[in-house]
Amino acid sequence: MIEIRVTGQTREERARSLAQQLEGLYSGEPTPSSWRGGRSEGLRRLATFDVRRYADGRNYTQGSTVSQLSPYIRHGALTLAEVRDVVVRQHPRSVVEKFVNELAWRAFWRSVYAAKGTAIGRNIELPKYTRPVRWSATLPDDVAQAQTGLACIDDGLHELFTLGYVHNHWRMWFAAYLLHWRRVDWQVGARLFEQHLLDGDPASNRLSWQWVAGTFSHKPYYFNRANVERYSRGMHCVRCSAAAACPFEGSYEVIAQRLGLPQA
């Protein structure tokens, strides 16, 4: 377990203490993950991030244009305010608006966490299903071993387990799969992410899982095969052994009825 002790009398001194310790947090021998370097690496990535490409490519899991700054924000090496200020100074509002909106979502999750505390680990609202659902409190073995037989799920699990990072769109697919298709309680999935994700802070992680579950949103999130094919640029389905009997095949209306979810 890594222990960090923040010292200093003023806010600036405490920030400097934290930054110095984070410098070596991901240093050492090369690992499957490239997330190393603490604040200096976070600043380098921020300086080289091309926000002009963000809005058009952020939803694609392949060739994505996301910043990949979230681990540095998560551990305090970068603040939301300084990331916002850097991109706002360099580009007009029309260019940075979508990216800044996403920073605002992270700030919102934090504010909810500050207001509700550990209550975000429980359902904030009742699930919105059209028929009764029995939830499992155990992670299925095939999920834990990344052997579900569904390429779009297993490929992402391999990235999660080896890199500690995976694209947010895949996180949404996986959360919906675990919740709505496998009927596993969202808390189980949230714990899995917090165990492996370098950027898995309690606020963004748990409240995002509740957003997918529909316990902190007006309806649950779910997806279909067409969505996977579009935003993965078709990389999974072409080699999936379950493609001929894909559980995600069908319109949103058909899938909602099949799963007992409210219509979009």
Six token digits for residue 8: 């200093």
Give the pLDDT band of residue 8 (cuts 50, 70, 90): low
| In the predicted structure, residue 182 carries a pLDDT above the cut 90 | yes
| Closest residue by Cα to residue 152 from 249, 48, 8 | 249
| In the predicted structure, residue 153 carries a pLDDT above the cut 50 | yes
| In the predicted structure, residue 189 carries a pLDDT above the cut 50 | yes
Residue range 101-114: mean pLDDT, rounded: 96
Per-residue pLDDT at 38:
87
d(C-alpha 139, C-alpha 84), whole Å: 37
Query: Could you say which architecture CATH assigns to the domain 141-259?
Result: Orthogonal Bundle (1.10)
Give the pLDDT band of residue 32 (cuts 50, 70, 90): very low
Q: Considering the domain 11-119 in this protein, what is its CATH number?
A: 1.25.40.80
Give the pLDDT band of residue 17 (cuts 50, 70, 90): low
In the chain, where the domains are located: 11-119, 141-259
- Of 9-13, 40-44, 232-236, the least confident: 9-13
Domains 11-119 and 141-259 share a fold: no
| In the predicted structure, residue 25 carries a pLDDT above the cut 70 | no
**Radius of gyration, CA atoms only, the chain:** 19
d(C-alpha 173, C-alpha 159), whole Å: 14
d(C-alpha 160, C-alpha 163), whole Å: 6
| In the predicted structure, residue 203 carries a pLDDT above the cut 70 | yes
DSSP state of 124: S
Per-residue pLDDT at 127:
87
Q: What's this model's pTM, rounded to 2 decimal places?
A: 0.86
Give the pLDDT band of residue 1 (cuts 50, 70, 90): very low
